[in-house]
Homo-oligomer: A and B are copies of this chain.
């Protein structure tokens, strides 16, 4: 059986370990924080600490972008190993992979799964159940390598798997993930947040669920996807200004038109939970 290693035992790395172990694979893992390794062993997510990376056929790198690039630049992988990463930005990772000759096969992935909490204590064998997964293709990517990664993805529990270029990924994700985190983070800054306990329903809960982003990781993610993230944020502000103007001028028709436009678009969006 192929030997699998996971670098980085946070919520995503830990869940890769837990789900693959549950599916019958033997998985080793490593983390800068020794207590995460102990936790993963104790909970049966991994069999042992991963030592020499050159001993593994498949390696998942589940750490932030800068650290991922550093691993890709310096690690000694086994010849022909399948290497993947889980970063939320892909152009910058691909650039690092293809900047110099490699002895490994690379296919990037981005699990559309997570929680408002992080760390291995938030990991679970079910985190990816039916979640979307994006696999990223470059000109150099071989179809059979993508297929091999897909077999692991299915074992992890992913539902729909889409394939695209790094550029398309980064552009889409600026809307579907990055903008959402900024909006949620900004939403809680209203003066009215104090004492709003008891005045909240599902709308507020949903809007503020992911506000507590880890600023170290997310600053990196935004900076590596600056132009697309900025485009989405500027676009949203522009749209919000339409409602603002309508309210300021007491223009009912303009407000109604703006709301209707959004409703009609919303009705065209397929959603996992509809």
Residues on A lying within 8 angstroms of B by beta carbon are 112-114, 131-132, 134, 160-162, 169, 171-177, 179-193, 195-216, 218-219, 222-223, 226, 229-230, 232-237, 239-244, 247-248, 250, 252, 255-263, 265-267, 269-273
Residue among A186, A196, A215, A242 with the highest chain B CB neighbour number at 10 A: A186
Decide if the interface of chain A is mainly helix, strand, loop or mixed.
Answer: helix
Alpha-carbon distance between A243 and B213 when the two chains are bound, in angstroms: 14
Alpha-carbon distance between A250 and B224 when the two chains are bound, in angstroms: 10
Could you say how many copies of this chain the assembly holds? 2
Q: Are B134 and A198 in contact (CB under 8 A)?
A: yes
Question: Which chain B residues border A113 with CB–CB below 8 Å?
Answer: 201-202
Question: Which chain B residues border A260 with CB–CB below 8 Å?
Answer: 215
Q: Are B204 and A206 in contact (CB under 8 A)?
A: no
Q: Are B252 and A189 in contact (CB under 8 A)?
A: no
Alpha-carbon distance between A193 and B203 when the two chains are bound, in angstroms: 20
Q: Are A256 and B180 in contact (CB under 8 A)?
A: no
Q: Are A179 and B188 in contact (CB under 8 A)?
A: no
Residue among A180, A233, A261, A273 with the highest chain B CB neighbour number at 10 A: A180
Q: Are A200 and B132 in contact (CB under 8 A)?
A: yes
Interface pairs (13), CB distance under 8 Å = A114-B201, A172-B196, A172-B199, A183-B207, A183-B240, A188-B265, A189-B235, A193-B265, A219-B259, A222-B255, A223-B252, A229-B247, A233-B243
Alpha-carbon distance between A172 and B202 when the two chains are bound, in angstroms: 15
| 12 other A-B residue contacts (CB within 8 Å) besides A134-B198, A180-B203, A184-B203 | A112-B199, A172-B192, A172-B199, A180-B204, A180-B207, A185-B259, A188-B262, A203-B210, A207-B207, A213-B259, A233-B240, A240-B240
